[in-house]
Structure 1
Amino acid sequence: MSTAYVPTLDIRRFDTDRDNFVRELGQAYEQFGFCGISGHGLSAGLLDGVYDVFQRFFALPTDVKMQYHVPGGGGARGYTPFKVETAKDSQHPDLKEFWHIGREIPRDSKYADVMPPNLWPTEVEGFREFGYGLYEALDQLGARVLRALALYIGLPENWFDDKINFGNSILRPIHYPPIETEDVPNVRAGAHEDINFITLLIGASAAGLELLGKDGKWLPITTQGDAIVVNIGDMLQRLTNHVYPSTTHRVVNPKGDAARKPRYSIPFFLHPNPDFLIETLPSCITPDNPDRYPQPITAHDYLLERLREIRLI
């Protein structure tokens, strides 16, 4: 895919060329809801270690992986098996299995009842070290992206900081197993929008990710080098009254030999704090863009509403 569609911007420019970076980033999100981010500082050692531990986990026998499945937990932590999650309005479940890592919080926190403790598979050495190391790195990178997005819509740079410091964010390593037949009705991930503020995706270097353009055509997205794809989720779309659009995207099945290979990707879903009230920002309401969401909702209630739609609870 041409970078004329979705640009990749170097986030180091936020420190060296702030005004232009903020403008270019904001315009990319207004147009596409997606942008590639380079210069993020995530080390090759961290990323290599992450892929190693996650691939070793997914290679374990199913009965071992199922020991980390939490029935009734909505997939909030631990393992979710193959063909469970189903895109909203889709007849067929997605062709994937995944793991969830959440924020480590004190168990006497006011959020403890909605943010359960993490599970850590003892069979895979280094899983916790690399998994939570990546969680923290993407949490910090996401906060930087949100600072630029805040400036673009006239908010103070640090406006989001205390709204996400206990965010119910999720790191989701995903394994799309090889597809053995050409005629499966399912796709690896059905057309959907993300629930959260922003999503940071590692693993878009493999073909399959596509976004739905405003012209109704699907555009394939692949990244160069170590760029991370960052897209807007529905909570931020709602907060900004669609100034920042949450764009429909999917992961399609590759053709031919590529279908016989597994695909791995690692999205980080950055959420606000569970009690954050998603209430339309006054600066995003204009005569041409009247308030679409006069009824505010907490982030946690909105999350539950959406998890029911995709059949995780």
Structure 2
Amino acid sequence: MADTSQTGTSLGSIPIIDLVPLFEGKPEAIGHQIRDASRDYGFFFIRNHGVRQDMVDGVFAAAEAFFSQPEDDKLKLKVDSNNIGFMPFKGSTLRTETLNNNTKPNLNESYFIMRERDPADPDVVAKKPFRGLNKWPENLPSFRESLLGYTGVVEALAKRLVEGFAAAFGVSMEYFRTPFADPQISLRLAHYPDQKIVGNNEFGIAPHTDFGFMTILAPTKVPGLEIRPKGKDWIRAPVLPDCFLVNTGDLLQRWTNDVFISTPHRVTNNTGKERYSIPFFFSPNSEYVVDTMDVFISEQSPKKYEPITYAELYGRAIRKNYDHLNDNRGVTVDVA
């Protein structure tokens, strides 16, 4: 267990799950750990995940190089309706959240990629939501190679973790063959400059929950992430160099009828250093209709949610939160 008492916000701990049994073909050996962590915390660390440190280092170096470019160069890749590309500093305000009155823009800049696609891809030609082309900088050698290599490895890790979630749910992995045959993936490079003044309802990223199935976060060298598990105060997530941090999202919470929780989290960088983060977002195929699993419905726990696709859920959220899709006067771009 990881002690987080160092933060001064709350005493607490985030579970650590060793993935050795998963890679040995025994997902049932960690299913109960995933179930307990996802039910009680919505976050857990994973150890022995199989992602090489040099690949992680390469993406962090790529992030630092990208955000060090002149603003005009970054704006050549400005984020589009598919949420691909560069989002400038203060480019988002988390208006969908209810935990905090998020009235001020987030103090970060971001760059997003999704699955690499060819211009002739039928989904690209049909202009399906979140199936667009990635936008790559021209003057950063090995940038594209580093990011695509990393996303490929972490996507494979996420698919293995789905086996653990199936065991946690008590269902056959066959249940997930169709939704995760072509999963929706996204990698976000984020830069949080040092917050000289802390307070006044300003955050690197304000309290929020993630929209999808799960997020996989590589360890950063600079702390700043805090989570608020159910019934607890804010807990500072420690930096564990040999572990990735996984959190469950809104779509998974709907899928399990609120048994697996989507936990609020936030970032404040008051370390005096530049902070970089590289979360990887993993969800079912964006057109797959997610409906609450029967195993989570009973007379005591009736079904709470209507069926929805990830494209619908994600589209609704980013239209409200991201300024490139919302002109702050209630006019939005229809992307889903």
Question: Is the pair's TM-score, using the shorter chain for normalization, greater than 0.5?
Answer: yes
| Contact 1:111 1:274 survives alignment (8 Å) | no
Output the aligned Cα RMSD: 1.9
Indicate yes or no: 2:54 matched with 1:45: yes
Q: Which structure 2 residues correspond to residues 281-296 of structure 1 after superposition, within 5 A?
A: 281-293=293-305, 295-296=306-307
In terms of mean alpha carbon deviation, does 82-91 or 201-210 score higher? 201-210
- Conserved? CA contact 1:204–1:221, under 8 Å: no
Matched, 1:99 2:111: yes
Question: 2:3 corresponds to which residue?
Answer: 2
1:278 aligns with 2:304: no
Give distance in 1, aligned partners of 2:172 and 2:28.
14
How far, CA to CA, are the matches of 2:199 and 2:254 in structure 1? 37
TM-score by length of 2: 0.85
Counterpart of 1:25?
34
Secondary structure (helix, strand or coil) at the match of 1:100 reads: strand
The gaps in structure 1 that reach 5 residues or longer are none
Q: Report the counterpart of residue 84 of structure 2 in structure 1.
A: 77
- Taking every aligned residue pair, what percent have the same amino acid on both sides? 30
How far apart in 2 are the matches of 1:35 and 1:66? 35
Measured after TM superposition, the shift of residue 53 of structure 1 is 1.5
Does the CA contact (< 8 Å) of 1:102 and 1:118 recur in 2? yes
Report deviation, 1:37. 0.8
Instruction: Go from structure 1 to structure 2 and tell me whether the alpha carbon gap of 1:181 and 1:217 turns closer, same or farther (over 3 Å shift).
Output: closer
Cα distance between partner residues in 2 of 1:195 and 1:307? 9
Alpha-carbon distance between aligned partners in 2 of 1:175 and 1:97, rounded to the nearest angstrom:
5
Alignment of 1:117-266 (within 5 A): 117-182=133-198, 185-254=201-270, 258=271, 260-266=272-278
- 1:8–1:264 distance in 2 versus 1, CA, 3 Å: same
The answer (yes or no) to whether the contact 1:205–1:222 under 8 Å persists in 2 is no
- For residues 277-302 of structure 1, give each alpha carbon's deviation from its aligned partner in whole angstroms, at most 9, with x where no partner exists: 01111111122221111x21222111
Q: Contact 2:219 / 2:243 at 8 angstroms: preserved in 1?
A: no
> How far 1:109 moved relative to its partner?
4.2
> How far off its partner does 1:194 sit?
0.2
The DSSP-based 3-state class of the residue aligned with 2:137 is coil
CA contact (8 A) 1:196 1:270 kept: yes
1-structure distance, mates of 2:122, 2:104: 37
Residues matched between the structures, number: 306
Q: CA–CA distance in 1 between the matches of 2:220 and 2:274?
A: 13
User: Take 2:240 and 2:250, find their aligned partners in 1: how far apart are those partners?
Assistant: 26
The residue type paired with residue 165 of structure 2 is L
Higher mean alpha-carbon deviation, 180-189 vs 127-136, is at 180-189
Distance in structure 2 (CA, Å) of the matches to 1:15 and 1:183: 44
- Deviation (angstroms), 1:158: 4.2
Tell me, what secondary structure is at the counterpart of 2:159? helix
Contact (CA 8 Å) 1:204, 1:228: kept in 2 or not? no
**Structure 1 residue 182: Cα displacement:** 4.7
- Code of the residue aligned with 1:150 in structure 2: it is A
Aligned partners of 2:166, 2:301: CA distance in 1, in Å? Answer: 18
Deviation at 1:172, TM superposition (A): 0.2
Aligned to 2:7: none
TM-score (norm 1): 0.91
Deviation, structure 1 residue 118: 0.7
Contact 1:204–1:229 under 8 Å retained in 2 = no
Q: Is the CA contact (8 Å cut-off) linking 2:230 and 2:263 kept in structure 1?
A: no
Secondary structure of residue in 1 paired with 2:145: helix
Helix, strand or coil: the match of 1:111? helix
The CA distance in 2 between the partners of 1:296 and 1:182, in whole Å, is 40
Q: Distance in 1 between matches of 2:62 and 2:263?
A: 31
| Within-5 A mapping of 1:290-305 | 290-293=302-305, 295-305=306-316
Question: 1: distance between equivalents of 2:284 and 2:246?
Answer: 16
Pairwise CA distance, 1:200 = 0.4
- When residues 182 and 303 of structure 1 are mapped into structure 2, their CA distance, relative to the original with a 3 A threshold, is closer
Query: Is residue 211–residue 250 contact of structure 1 (8 Å, CA) maintained in 2?
Result: yes
2 CA distance for matches of 1:82 and 1:104?
25
Unaligned 5+ segments in structure 2 are 5-11, 326-336
1:309 corresponds to 2:309 = no
Q: Distance in 1 between matches of 2:235 and 2:169?
A: 27
Of 60-69 and 10-19, more deviation after overlay is shown by 10-19
